[in-house]
């Protein structure tokens, strides 16, 4: 059944980093749930994002493609305003865009650190800030959702900048949830752990036996354990985007598969 607002207009979502992987899966799942969905990614991913737009249209939902750098405040502000103008409002935002560079702390450059923080932490902050402004003005509540990560609970070797940003997202989520609770706006995060996407592809995959094999070897994941796919995360986000999830806020929840368990705890 389609989600509706009180006046029966379709609810509207905006998903960043939606050209592929988890973002694409979330955008398509929200469209299946009956929401109109604006999708956002970098200009160089135009062909991929247009394919997502066509898939959303095929589900009978309204959509718009936006080409934006999530670390730029003017661009994010314009993208959110464009979503409101073209789709009629904003009820859900999923700040999914993120990057990860494998670089041990002794080799970590200021440029790499700043770039990772700009996309993964500042990008989520800007999405929360400008989405909240529109949701408060609309007066019908909303759902703000950011991508955190299991590495926001326990650090991981060789990705110190990425790990730091995931801890930062947890702080942003908790603080914003307290500020926005009086407006029926929830703020939550999802922590995917290891999901089979382009981000888990490595140059050695072909030599090791295919996509994901380098990662499995690095983390000593047993061959009988199948890592999760983006659809698993999308189904989780689908629930916390719904009106009935209003009592869940300030949480960064682990969408976890068995192979992640050891890495996502302090054992």
Q: Give the residue numbers marked as catalytic.
A: 162, 166
What DSSP character marks residue 183? G
State the Cα–Cα distance between residues 226 and 46, nearest whole angstrom. Answer: 31
Q: What sections of the chain are H helices per DSSP?
A: 21-32, 46-58, 73-87, 110-117, 123-138, 160-180, 205-208, 213-219, 230-240
DSSP string of 230-259?
Answer: HHHHHHHHHHHTSGGGTT--S-EEE---GG
State the Cα–Cα distance between residues 193 and 17, nearest whole angstrom. Answer: 17
Task: Give the strands of the sheet with 12-16, arranged side by side.
Answer: 63-67, 36-41, 12-16, 92-95, 142-147, 185-191, 252-254
CA-to-CA separations, 139 to 5, 12, 94, 133, 197, in angstroms, rounded: 12, 14, 19, 10, 37
């Amino acid at each position: 059944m389609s989600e509706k607002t009180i006046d029966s207009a379709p609810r509207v979502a905006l998903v960043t980093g939606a050209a592929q992987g988890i973002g694409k899966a979330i955008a398509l799942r929200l469209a299946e749930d009956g929401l109109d969905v604006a999708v956002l990614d970098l200009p160089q991913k135009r062909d991929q994002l247009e394919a997502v737009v066509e898939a959303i249209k095929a589900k009978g939902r309204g959509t718009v493609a936006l080409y934006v750098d999530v670390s730029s405040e003017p661009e994010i502000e314009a993208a959110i305003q464009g979503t409101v103008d073209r789709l009629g409002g904003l009820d859900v935002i999923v700040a999914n865009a993120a990057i990860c560079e494998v670089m041990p702390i002794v080799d970590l450059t200021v440029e790499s650190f700043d770039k990772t923080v700009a996309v993964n932490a500042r990008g989520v902050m800007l999405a929360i800030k400008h989405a909240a402004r529109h949701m408060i003005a609309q007066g019908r509540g909303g759902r703000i959702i950011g991508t955190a990560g299991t590495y926001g609970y326990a650090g991981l070797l060789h990705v110190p900048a990425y790990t730091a940003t995931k801890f930062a997202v947890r702080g942003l989520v908790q603080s914003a949830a307290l500020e926005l609770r009086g407006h029926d706006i929830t703020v939550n995060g999802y922590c995917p752990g290891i999901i089979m996407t382009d981000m888990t592809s490595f140059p050695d995959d072909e030599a090791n036996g295919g996509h994901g094999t380098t990662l499995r070897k690095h983390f000593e994941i047993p061959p009988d354990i199948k890592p999760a796919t983006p659809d698993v995360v999308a189904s989780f986000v689908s629930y916390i985007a719904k009106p009935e999830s209003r009592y869940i806020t300030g949480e960064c929840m682990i969408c976890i598969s068995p192979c992640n368990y050891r890495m996502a705890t302090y054992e």
